Amino acid sequence: MAVCTESELIIDIGKYWPSNTPVLKVYEKLLAQDKKIPLATLHAAKKGKLTTAKPTTLIRLRDLVQEWSGQDLRIEDLFVAQKLTRSHLKI
């Protein structure tokens, strides 16, 4: 019996996250720079579990990751395809 699979795009910035840097510290730094990204959004993006975000948030996440990595990145570079199995699908 074949397993039905689909995929969804998620935002994952975990591989760019600086070692030993708490999410709260990044959040506070962004607030001080008037570049607010919701705390829950930062947590989810760091864990690779962010499924939705406003366009301004995507731009700010991209800018943040560019600052950390020193790379010229596009927003699309933050997306990862996550495969879903039948148990994840709403059928």
> For the residues 51-74, what does the mean pLDDT come to?
96
Q: CA quadruple 31, 33, 36, 38: dihedral positive or negative?
A: negative
Q: Is the pLDDT of residue 33 over 90?
A: yes
Looking at residue 22, what is its pLDDT? Answer: 97
Residue 78: other Cβ atoms inside 10 A: 21
pLDDT at 14: 96
Cα–Cα distance for residue pair 51/44, rounded to 1 Å: 8
pLDDT at 2: 46
Residue 91 has pLDDT above 70, yes or no: no
Buried b (16+ CB within 10 A) or exposed e, 20-34: eeebeebbeebeeee
Residue 64 belongs to domain spanning: 5-88
Confidence of residue 20 (pLDDT cuts 50, 70, 90): very high
DSSP three-state, residue 1? coil
The number of distinct structural domains making up the chain is: 1
Mean pLDDT score of the chain, rounded to an integer? 88
Asked if pLDDT for residue 58 goes beyond 70, the answer is yes
